[in-house]
A and B are shown apart, each in its own frame.
Chain A
Amino acid sequence: MTSRNAIEVRDLVVGNGDVTAVRGVSFTIPQGGRMGLVGESGSGKSMTALALMGLLPMGWSTHGSVLHDGVDLVTQSDKALSSRRGRTISMVFQDPLSSLNPVRRVGDQISWVIRKHMGVDKKTAEQQTIELITQMKLPRPEQLVRAYPHEISGGQRQRIMIAMALACYPQLIIADEPTTALDVTVQKQVLRLLNGAAHDRGSALLMITHDLPIIAAMCDTVAVMYAGRIVEMGPVAEVFRNPRHHYTRGLLDSQPTMDNIALDGTSRLVSIPGMVPPLHDLPTGCAFNPRCAVATDRCRAEMPELSGDTLKSACWHPVPNSSEVAAQ
C-alpha cells in the first residue's frame, strides 16, 4: 500500500510537553493526489506540515506514524530526513523573502539543491536551474539566476521557491500559505504554475491555507482542522457544497462572495461567534462546542470521532444534508 500513497499519516500527535498542537490527525494522500488542509491560526495545520518535514522547533516532538516512500518519517534520524527534504518531499513556505538565503544568488540556491540530491556536476545543475526558471515563466532566466532575493519581486521570489521545491521531482510538495504574502493579482499566476508543475511531475500536493477558494481551485480532497484535530474530511465538492460540521458551514458562510453581496447593501455576513480556544485551555468534549449554535450536553462531555463514508465529519449533531432536508 505504502508504495501507492505519497504520504500516509496515522494518529499524528505533535506537542512540546506543555501544549499539544496536533491531537491525533490521520490522512492519506495518494500518488499525485491533492489535499487541502484548512484551518485558522492555532488549528495546528502548520505544525502538521512541519512535523511531516521533520522541521519542528526545538522541544517539540512527534508521535504516531508518517509513512512516506516506504519508511516511517517519525522514526528517521535527522540525517536521513535531511537527505529527503527537497528530494522526495519538499516544501514551499509562506514568505519567500525570509526562507531564501539573502546572501546567495537565487540560481546558486536552486542548483545547490539539484547537486546535493541528484549527484550531477555543477554545469548540468546550472543548466537544469535555467530550465526550471524558464518553466516558471520568469523573464530572462540567464540574468535572473545571478540575482539576489532582494532584487526581484515577491511573485518572482515565490516562483523561485516553487522551482526549488520541484527541482528533484518530489513525490510530495507541501505548500504552506504559498500566496498569502503576494499581491492578489499575482496570486492566481503563482497558483496556476504550482498546479501545472506539480501535475507535470506527478507530485502529490498538500496545500495548507485558510483560503477556501484556493482549496476549491486546486485540490480533490480537503481536511478541515480545528484545535488540533481534523473535524471534517472528504472530496472538496462534497465538503464545500454539503458540509456536515457546523464549523465548516460557518467558515463557508463567513466568506463574502458575489452571491451574498448581491442580495442588497444591508446584507450581513454570518459570523462564527467567539474565537479559537487557546491550546492550553481547550474545552472538554468537542472543541468547537462553545461557538456552536446546536451544542448539547453530549457535545460538552464527549469528543466526537470522525465518521462517515466518503465525507467524514466529527460532530454529534451534523448539519442535515440537502437530501435529508428534501425528505422532511
Chain B
Amino acid sequence: MTAVTPFPADARPLLEVRQLSQTYNLRRQKLFASRPTLRVLDTIDLSVRPGEAVGLVGESGSGKTTLTRMLTGVEKPMSGNVLYDGLDVWTGGEAHRKLFRRSVQVVLQNPRSSLDPRMRVGTSLLEPLRSLKIEGDHAARVLEVLDQVGLQKSALERFPHEFSGGQLQRIAIARALMPGPKVLIADEPVSALDVSIQAQVLNLLKDLVRDLGLGLVFIAHDLSVVAYTTSKVYVMSSGKIVEVGKPLDLFRNPQAEATQALVGAVLSVEAGLAGNALA
C-alpha cells in the first residue's frame, strides 16, 4: 500500500478537518415549539497528505456530501476547523483563502451536468484560471494538462456533447487540474461511467496521485472501487466517522456495524457463481 506514496508518510497534512460538526435547523413541528435540529456532521477528524489517496465511504445520508462541502470551503462549519496547510481557511485571512481556493479542486459525479454544454472544452478548461485570476501562459498550461489526462489537442475545439462519458470525466479532471491544485476531491467520479471506462478513470486518478504528488479524497459507495484507489479509508455513518483503516483490513475484518453492512453489500462474480451471493 505504501508504494503508492513516494512522499514521507509523516509529511504534514495538506488538508485537514478537526472536530468538525455541523447542525441544520429543521422545520418547526408546532407553532410555538423551538425548531428541531439535525446533526449532520459530528466531531469529524480527517486529513490528507501529499501523494496520499484517502477514501470516504458510507450509505446515502451518512454525511459524505456535507463533509465534501466543508472540505471545499462551500459551507462554513458550526464548530471545528478546516485547515489547509496548517491554517484555518475561514479565519486565516484573505490571502490564505485565495491560496486554499486554488489548491483544493473538485471532480463531480456526472460530467454531463458539471460541464457547461454551451462552452467549448477549451473555454471550460480556462474558466478556473479566469475566475481565480491566475496569471501565466494559459495556452501552455492547457496543453500540459491535456497531456496529463491523456486527451488530444483537438478536444479543445469541441463541445461536451461530442464526447463519451469517460472522456468527459477526463475533461472534468483536466479542468480541476488547471489551477495546479495540491488536493483533488472526487465525489463518486466513476459511478456514472460504464464498466469498461471506470477502470481507465480509476487508473488515471491513481497515476495523478503518484506523478503529481496530489492528495486525493475519493468519495464513493462501492468499497471495492475505493479499496483499489486509496490507501486509507474513512467509513461514515449518521454524521460520524465510525472506522478508519487500510482498505484491506476493513474488508477482511470490519469492526463497525456500518462497515460490516457495506462489506456485506459487495457482490462479486465469484460469490455469485458459487451461488451464495444473495444468501
B267 touches A256 (CB 8 A): no
A210 touches B194 (CB 8 A): yes
Contact with A along B187-218 (1 / 0, CB 8 A): 00000001111111011001000000000000
Contact with B along A158-185 (1 / 0, CB 8 A): 0000000000000000000000000111
- B74 close to chain A: CB less than 8 A: no
Q: Can you list 5 residue pairs at the A/B interface with Cβ under 8 Å?
A: A184-B221, A213-B271, A217-B267, A251-B196, A259-B270
- B269 close to chain A: CB less than 8 A: yes
B277 touches A213 (CB 8 A): yes
- A27 close to chain B: CB less than 8 A: no
A213 touches B227 (CB 8 A): no
**Which residues of the other chain, A, contact B196 by a CB distance below 8 angstroms?**
40, 250-251, 254, 271-272, 276
Name the residue on B nearest A265 (C-beta). Answer: B1
**Which residues of the other chain, B, contact A236 by a CB distance below 8 angstroms?**
272-273
Binds A, one of B36-44, B87-95, B102-110, B161-169: B161-169
- A279 close to chain B: CB less than 8 A: no
Name the residue on B nearest A252 (C-beta). Answer: B269
Contact with B along A250-288 (1 / 0, CB 8 A): 111011111111101111111111011000000000000
Q: B228: which of A41, A210, A256 is its contact (CB, 8 Å)?
A: A256
* With A184-B221, A184-B265 already in contact, 7 other A-B pairs whose C-beta atoms are closer than 8 Å: A183-B221, A237-B273, A254-B198, A257-B268, A270-B199, A271-B196, A272-B199
The complex places the Cα of A276 from the Cα of B197 at a distance, in Å, of: 9
B262 touches A184 (CB 8 A): yes
**Which residues of the other chain, B, contact A256 by a CB distance below 8 angstroms?**
199, 202, 224-225, 227-228
**Are A212 and B203 also in contact (CB < 8 A) when A184-B222, A265-B2 are?**
no
B251 touches A271 (CB 8 A): no
Name the residue on B nearest A278 (C-beta). Answer: B164
The complex places the Cα of A60 from the Cα of B228 at a distance, in Å, of: 41
Report, nearest first, the 4 A-B pairs whose CB atoms are least far apart: A216-B272, A271-B199, A217-B277, A213-B267
A264 touches B3 (CB 8 A): yes
The complex places the Cα of A188 from the Cα of B59 at a distance, in Å, of: 14
User: Chain A nearest CB: distance from B43 CB in Å?
Assistant: 24
**Which residues of the other chain, B, contact A265 by a CB distance below 8 angstroms?**
1-4, 231
- B247 close to chain A: CB less than 8 A: yes
The complex places the Cα of A23 from the Cα of B255 at a distance, in Å, of: 50
- B261 close to chain A: CB less than 8 A: yes
The complex places the Cα of A259 from the Cα of B271 at a distance, in Å, of: 12
**Which residues of the other chain, A, contact B3 by a CB distance below 8 angstroms?**
264-266
B277 touches A257 (CB 8 A): no
- B278 close to chain A: CB less than 8 A: yes
Q: B194: which of A41, A255, A264 is its contact (CB, 8 Å)?
A: A41
User: Chain B nearest CB: distance from A154 CB in Å?
Assistant: 8
**Which residues of the other chain, A, contact B262 by a CB distance below 8 angstroms?**
184-185
Which chain B residues numbered 250 to 279 have a C-beta less than 8 Å away from chain A? Answer: 251, 261-262, 264-273, 277-278
The complex places the Cα of A288 from the Cα of B195 at a distance, in Å, of: 15
**Are A251 and B195 also in contact (CB < 8 A) when A268-B206, A269-B203 are?**
yes
- A65 close to chain B: CB less than 8 A: no
Which chain A residues numbered 36 to 51 have a C-beta less than 8 Å away from chain B? Answer: 40-41
B194 touches A188 (CB 8 A): no
The complex places the Cα of A124 from the Cα of B179 at a distance, in Å, of: 65
**Which residues of the other chain, A, contact B277 by a CB distance below 8 angstroms?**
213, 216-217
User: Chain B nearest CB: distance from A92 CB in Å?
Assistant: 16
- A317 close to chain B: CB less than 8 A: no
- B60 close to chain A: CB less than 8 A: yes
User: Chain B nearest CB: distance from A226 CB in Å?
Assistant: 10
A215 touches B272 (CB 8 A): yes
B227 touches A261 (CB 8 A): yes
User: Chain B nearest CB: distance from A132 CB in Å?
Assistant: 20
The complex places the Cα of A267 from the Cα of B277 at a distance, in Å, of: 26
B224 touches A257 (CB 8 A): yes
B278 touches A269 (CB 8 A): no
- A195 close to chain B: CB less than 8 A: yes
- A148 close to chain B: CB less than 8 A: no
- B248 close to chain A: CB less than 8 A: yes
**Which residues of the other chain, A, contact B231 by a CB distance below 8 angstroms?**
265
**Which residues of the other chain, B, contact A251 by a CB distance below 8 angstroms?**
195-196
- A241 close to chain B: CB less than 8 A: yes
The complex places the Cα of A73 from the Cα of B277 at a distance, in Å, of: 35
The complex places the Cα of A273 from the Cα of B199 at a distance, in Å, of: 10
Centre residue among A241, A259, A260, A275 by max chain B CB count within 10 A: A275
**Which residues of the other chain, A, contact B2 by a CB distance below 8 angstroms?**
265
The complex places the Cα of A215 from the Cα of B2 at a distance, in Å, of: 35
B202 touches A269 (CB 8 A): yes
Which chain B residues numbered 16 to 64 have a C-beta less than 8 Å away from chain A? Answer: 59-60
Centre residue among B59, B164, B195, B222 by max chain A CB count within 10 A: B195
